[in-house]
């Protein structure tokens, strides 16, 4: 259903892009023997760059919708397991967490806080894939240089983190209200909506508010982004070599995306646990439990040893492959349609 809608939107977008008139000053008229305007090359270049930008943004937006709709329920369970108390856990595991949420709030409970990531992920993924397209041009990626895709991925995620970090913060803050209510029936959330979280973070810290745990997000995203795109592109290229036409099939693209997502999360999950702890800490600096990345890591280890860094890994990996496979396939598919 998601891909059918993406295909319809892509066709409409492509039709709008075809045969767009250029400014008369930039229109080459060689067929009439008229010498092209000196502005024609610049105008054509600007038009081409604008269309390229629009395509990257549109494809990335479709990918953001896909990854949010497929992955948010798993992400809700992951955050609940990551942030619950080790001494007095509310949930015994992923299935127990999902069951209790559904029993209390219905399926919509698994989509708690989805408004922020849905809107945010559309914007973030549009930025990410536009950055990745430009990073590939800058690095000069090539199938003969497997590491080139990893370099481009790290650059893209560096840029994307500035947009992802606030989105993740507000989503996590809103999700953790659910676990606090479960741990204490008398607990009353200070927030009525995600908007209240945004207002409070700005009130307490100003422009720094949305970037709570930014350093932890960057610590995860740079290496993880390199692995994510590196594994995806190189796996896709390996599949392509086995086909007569030299192109990967849709199934192979989906599989490549799933493998890339699996490596992204399985290798860097402990950093994500630290990031979640910092992001679900109080938005008011005076009320926070953790002083920073190292302090959070130390206290997490003290609370449960090495195992504490892998709480919520199972639902995360369940989410990683289908959500990322769906997202990367959507982006790739939409780009092929509008190209």
Asked whether residue 7 is domain-assigned, the answer is no
Average pLDDT of the chain?
81
CATH number at residue 280: 1.50.40.10
Give percent above pLDDT 90 in the chain. 41
> Hey, what are 83's tokens?
């942030």
- Using CA of residue 136, residue 140, residue 146, residue 152, what is the dihedral sign? negative
User: CA-CA distance, 14 to 294, in Å (whole number)?
Assistant: 49
| Interhelix angle 94-105/40-83, nearest 10 degrees | 100
User: CA-CA distance, 192 to 195, in Å (whole number)?
Assistant: 8
User: CA-CA distance, 216 to 277, in Å (whole number)?
Assistant: 10
85: β partners: none
Banded model confidence at residue 74, pLDDT cuts 50, 70, 90: confident
Cβ-based neighbours of 66, under 8 Å, separated by 6 or more: 2, 6, 323, 326, 327, 330
Q: What is the pLDDT of residues 134-171, one digit of tens each?
A: 999 999 999 999 999 999 999 999 999 998 899 889 88
> Hey, what are 11's tokens?
């066709």
pLDDT above 90 for 87: no
User: CA-CA distance, 223 to 99, in Å (whole number)?
Assistant: 34
User: CA-CA distance, 181 to 83, in Å (whole number)?
Assistant: 13
Q: What is the pLDDT of residues 226-261, one digit of tens each?
A: 999 999 999 999 999 999 999 999 999 999 999 999
Number of domains in the chain: 1
Banded model confidence at residue 65, pLDDT cuts 50, 70, 90: confident
User: CA-CA distance, 228 to 128, in Å (whole number)?
Assistant: 13
Banded model confidence at residue 10, pLDDT cuts 50, 70, 90: low
Query: Would you state the pLDDT for residue 33?
Result: 47
Residue 281's domain comprises 113-339
Q: In angstroms, how far apart are the furthest CA atoms of the chain?
A: 83
User: CA-CA distance, 335 to 339, in Å (whole number)?
Assistant: 6
Query: Would you state the pLDDT for residue 22?
Result: 43
Asked whether residue 156 is domain-assigned, the answer is yes
Asked whether residue 305 is domain-assigned, the answer is yes
Average pLDDT of the segment spanning 42-46: 57
pLDDT above 60 for 28: no
Q: What is the pLDDT of residues 161-204, one digit of tens each?
A: 998 899 889 888 887 776 677 667 788 888 888 889 899 999 99
User: CA-CA distance, 192 to 187, in Å (whole number)?
Assistant: 13
Asked whether residue 45 is domain-assigned, the answer is no
Asked whether residue 66 is domain-assigned, the answer is no
Asked whether residue 90 is domain-assigned, the answer is no
- Sequence-ordered alpha helix ranges (H) in the chain: 2-17, 40-83, 94-105, 115-139, 146-183, 194-205, 214-241, 250-279, 293-304, 313-338
Query: Would you state the pLDDT for residue 37?
Result: 47
pLDDT above 90 for 270: yes
Say if pTM beats, i.e. exceeds, 0.75: no
The alpha carbon of 194 is separated from its chain's Cα centroid by a whole number of angstroms, namely 19
Query: Would you state the pLDDT for residue 135?
Result: 94
Give percent above pLDDT 70 in the chain. 82
pLDDT above 60 for 321: yes
Asked whether residue 80 is domain-assigned, the answer is no
For 249, other C-beta atoms within 10 Å of its C-beta total 13
142: β partners: 145
Asked whether residue 304 is domain-assigned, the answer is yes
* Triad 212, 111, 322: Cα angle to 5°: 90
Banded model confidence at residue 46, pLDDT cuts 50, 70, 90: low
């Amino acid at each position: 259903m998601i891909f059918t809608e993406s295909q319809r939107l892509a066709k409409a977008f492509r039709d709008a892009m075809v045969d767009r008139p250029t400014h008369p000053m930039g229109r080459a008229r060689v067929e009439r023997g008229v010498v092209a305007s000196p502005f024609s090359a610049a105008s054509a270049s600007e038009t081409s760059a604008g269309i390229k930008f629009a395509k990257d943004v549109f494809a990335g937006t479709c990918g953001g919708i896909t990854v949010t709709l497929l992955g948010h329920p798993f992400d809700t369970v992951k955050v609940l397991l990551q942030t619950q108390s080790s001494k007095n856990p509310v949930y015994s595991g992923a299935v127990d967490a999902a069951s209790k949420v559904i029993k209390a709030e219905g399926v919509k409970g698994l989509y708690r806080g989805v408004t922020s990531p849905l809107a945010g992920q559309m914007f973030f993924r549009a930025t990410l894939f536009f950055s990745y397209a430009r990073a590939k041009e800058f690095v000069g990626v090539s199938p003969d240089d497997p590491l080139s895709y990893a370099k481009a991925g790290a650059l893209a995620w560096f840029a994307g983190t500035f947009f992802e970090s606030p989105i993740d913060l507000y989503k996590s803050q809103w999700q953790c209200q659910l676990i606090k209510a479960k741990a204490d029936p008398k607990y009353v959330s200070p927030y009525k909506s995600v908007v209240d979280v945004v207002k409070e973070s700005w009130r307490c810290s100003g422009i720094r508010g949305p970037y709570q745990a930014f350093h932890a997000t960057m610590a995860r995203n740079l290496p993880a982004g390199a692995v994510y795109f590196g594994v995806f592109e190189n796996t896709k290229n390996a599949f392509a070599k086995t086909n007569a036409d030299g192109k990967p099939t849709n199934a192979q693209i989906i599989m490549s995306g799933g493998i890339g997502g699996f490596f992204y999360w399985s290798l860097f999950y402990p950093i994500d646990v630290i990031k979640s702890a910092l992001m679900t800490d109080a938005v008011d600096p005076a009320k926070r439990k953790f002083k920073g990345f190292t302090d959070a890591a130390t206290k997490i280890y003290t609370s449960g040893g090495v195992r504490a860094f892998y709480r919520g890994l199972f639902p995360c990996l369940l989410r990683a492959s289908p959500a990322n496979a769906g997202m990367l396939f959507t982006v790739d598919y939409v780009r092929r349609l509008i190209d």
